[in-house]
Structure 1
């Protein structure tokens, strides 16, 4: 069994990698900053970052890197509830650390002002990349979080598919960001949203509630549906497998 401390470290580092690469593709890319969001490039960055982190750290922690995924796995009874809060805390800490590193790197660019930059934070209304209102952001974040968490569960529920599961999940995240980036700047991950919002402050913190509520609700619904579709026969085995550090 992999010790909890090692699993939490893997979750924190993996989440930080996803946030730094994904958000860095927006913040550090001057052509994106000047000409608008390169949706395809951002989507590829997030998807490949998740896939690589899952291959490197998935065998230790299960490779969630997202509170919505952790909650979904817990609701589906494929993750121990007692580890729920420590995992989410590790993911948030990893995202904040990545955001701090990203802010430090970005500050070296002439003319960059953190307070005047949206810093890849998530938003709706005036802070949506394409000015989408609250109800559009809510629907997109909820629906895509549900799909992403369900795909994560389905891709890892069979031992035979685990070697390629990170590719499927990474590809799913790419598709999710292709749709969500113009609407909300792409969240689907409360930890990713929190790290950026803390550095932007002001409006980003005011709107952060949506990027917790929608992904977490989507994760809960996905976990409940997965639990309904799959019988109780392999739940106990899956939880034991996850506790031993394999992707569950």
Structure 2
């Protein structure tokens, strides 16, 4: 077990989830004007770009259980290392949610994901499941293509960060954007209630999407 890699995954997921929570908790009510959905999307995209550049070389910069499992399906990561990575990622997301809980002024939802009445546009289960599958598949295609052997050096963090920004712009109104089971788990644990009862969707859909995206990319690149 590579402790340094697990610590990098903890920190990366901590910062990724924190980018969502901080922007979602505070930017909508800022006295100078709400940053809104664009602000949240940029916050996470920039953070993923920065952490991938800073510590991505230590662990591979997954910061997401769906990405880890997608890379396993794509032949880029070992099955044996997947579970420790996922545990580190979940702990990072839970830890940063606890930090923002201590800071205070967190909404009751803790920016958790949801469908039905928990969706901004009241999107149903099928709509939320479908968008999470499709966008996570897209995300894995971007990740695998950007990190392929022979890809332009140094550009992967930029393309991955921009893809995640676009994903959030597209899906925050629908599902509050997961594409990352760890990011969903931390807030759901603190929000509790119906948010926690719906957490299975935000594990099942991103993981299914990641595997689909990885298989598609692997087929195209063979």
Please give the alpha-carbon distance, in whole angstroms, between the structure 2 residues aligned to 1:160 and 1:174: 21
Please give the alpha-carbon distance, in whole angstroms, between the structure 2 residues aligned to 1:160 and 1:222: 18
Offset at residue 28 of structure 1 (A): 2.3
Offset at residue 162 of structure 1 (A): 3.7
Please give the alpha-carbon distance, in whole angstroms, between the structure 1 residues aligned to 2:208 and 2:34: 30
From 219, 223, 243, the counterpart of 2:210: 219
Q: Does 1:28 align with 2:13?
A: no
2:28 and 2:34 in contact (8 A); partners too:
no
Please give the alpha-carbon distance, in whole angstroms, between the structure 1 residues aligned to 2:97 and 2:80: 28
Counterpart of 1:149 in structure 2 is 140
Counterpart of 1:180 in structure 2 is 171
Q: Does 1:58 align with 2:49?
A: no
1:46 and 1:174 in contact (8 A); partners too:
yes
2:27 and 2:35 in contact (8 A); partners too:
no
From 106, 109, 124, the counterpart of 1:118: 109
Q: Which is higher, the Rg of structure 1 or of structure 2?
A: 1
Offset at residue 149 of structure 1 (A): 1.1
Counterpart of 2:101 in structure 1 is 103
1:155 and 1:162 in contact (8 A); partners too:
no
Counterpart of 2:65 in structure 1 is 67
Offset at residue 227 of structure 1 (A): 2.2
Offset at residue 102 of structure 1 (A): 1.1
Q: Which moved more, 1:196-205 or 1:21-30?
A: 21-30
**Number of equivalenced pairs:** 221
Note closer, same or farther for the CA distance 1:181–1:118 as it changes in structure 2 (3 Å cut). Answer: same
Residue deviations 1:32-71 (CA, integer Å, cap 9, x gap): 7xx9881111110111111111011111000010111111
Offset at residue 21 of structure 1 (A): 1.5
Note closer, same or farther for the CA distance 1:208–1:162 as it changes in structure 2 (3 Å cut). Answer: farther
How large is the RMSD of aligned CA atoms in angstroms? 1.8
Offset at residue 170 of structure 1 (A): 0.2
Please give the alpha-carbon distance, in whole angstroms, between the structure 2 residues aligned to 1:162 and 1:149: 18
Please give the alpha-carbon distance, in whole angstroms, between the structure 1 residues aligned to 2:19 and 2:163: 17
Structure 2 residues without counterparts, runs of 5 or longer: none
Q: Does 1:208 align with 2:206?
A: no
Q: Which moved more, 1:156-165 or 1:168-177?
A: 156-165
Please give the alpha-carbon distance, in whole angstroms, between the structure 1 residues aligned to 2:12 and 2:34: 28
